[in-house]
Amino acid sequence: MKKILLLGTGGTIACKRTENGLKPVITSDEIISYVPGSREFCEIDSIQILNIDSTNIQPAHWLSMAGAIEEHYEEYDGFVITHGTDTMAYTAAALSYLIQNSKKPIVITGAQKPIDMENTDARTNLADSLRFASCGRAHGINLVFDGKAIAGTRGKKERTKSYNAFSSINFPYIAMIQEDHILFYLDDKDRVTEPVAFYHDLNPNVGLLKLIPSTDASLLDYMAEHYDAVIIESFGVGGLPSYEKGDYYRAISRWTSLGKTVVMTTQVTNEGSNMSVYEVGKNIKQEFGLLEAYDMTLEAAVTKTMWILGQTRDPEKIRSLFYQTINRDVLWKNT
């Protein structure tokens, strides 16, 4: 029988009603008591790392989660993290960079309704996650929700209330889980040949600028004083406005002259960016050597940049690491 460690961090799954709204107070030990049937196929221990609303998640919390898994890695066959849904995709992506080449499954799950409610998705999601974490064919960082296993770098919350809240973006689902059956679409554990690697540094000084028509480029100047990298969410396949004053050209020039990192991505959820299509993207990318996220999710682009800048500030090493495929995060790239 597999040994699984459950790590509690809070979120809706652990909430109870208070006069000020839902608040996470249910402990990880209590959460396990709601899925007694899971003990038929695995032994479960638990530790409480946090008990917070996932709106309050920060990079330091990701390091705590990774650290707890590293501390107990040799003792268990798999790990399940219960987490709030609002930033779950960021956590799944961040852990994909902090824990690499794991032959043991590390699952992140949660719920749209608290586990102590009569009508809730929490018990099913938790039972599915424990079963997936107990499967000898599962490996690496995955998000399990609504019967689907999603690569940790490919999950995105697309619905605020429905039980099918998460989708796999630009990549197939890893598996489907129905009661005691797991149907794998990607069964490639044998390709993990490197030893597991744990990382202990993240640089949280990564900002995001979402463009709208008429966004003033001076925002980039302000951000250059406060961040080491910026992710720019542009329109369509990607580009920067060429307004009459040419402010974006000047702002990007300043970022690169300061040795800071600029990553271009798209506001469009599916199919990714390709800045070489239009003049507004091709020229500025070629001149300044901007990084491009291509088919990566925003969550992966943000957390990967934090991880990279925690390892190096050398521009060539940053570029090489950014385009290195980690936990299925980027498939199409023209560097």
Q: What are phi and psi of 193, to 5 degrees?
A: -110, -20
* CA dist., res. 334 & res. 15, Å (int): 45
Q: Which two tokens stand for residue 164?
A: 């099918």
The question of whether 265 is a catalytic residue gets the answer no
Dihedral pair phi/psi, residue 116, rounded to 5°: -90, 0
By residue count, the chain amounts to 335
Residues 6+ apart with CB under 8 A from 265: 231, 232, 233, 234, 238, 273, 292, 293, 296, 298, 301
- Token duo for residue 201: 């540094």
Q: Which long-range contacts (CB under 8 A, 24 or more apart) does 179-188 make?
A: 180/41, 180/131, 182/131, 182/132, 182/135, 182/137, 182/138, 182/149, 184/137, 187/137
- Of 12, 82, 109, 305, the catalytic one is 12
Cα–Cα distance, 71 to 65 (Å, whole number): 10
**What's the token pair of residue 70?**
């590293």
Degrees to nearest 5, angle at CA 92 with 225 and 58: 40
Name which of 241, 230, 250, 244 is nearest 298 in CA terms: 230
Instruction: Write the DSSP symbol of residue 195.
Output: P
304: phi then psi, degrees, rounded to nearest 5: -65, -40
Rounded CA gap, 39 and 14, in Å?
A: 20
Positive or negative: CA dihedral 133, 50, 169, 304: negative
How far CA 250 is from CA of 63, 217, 246, 247, in Å, comes to 36, 9, 7, 5
The residues that are catalytic are: 12
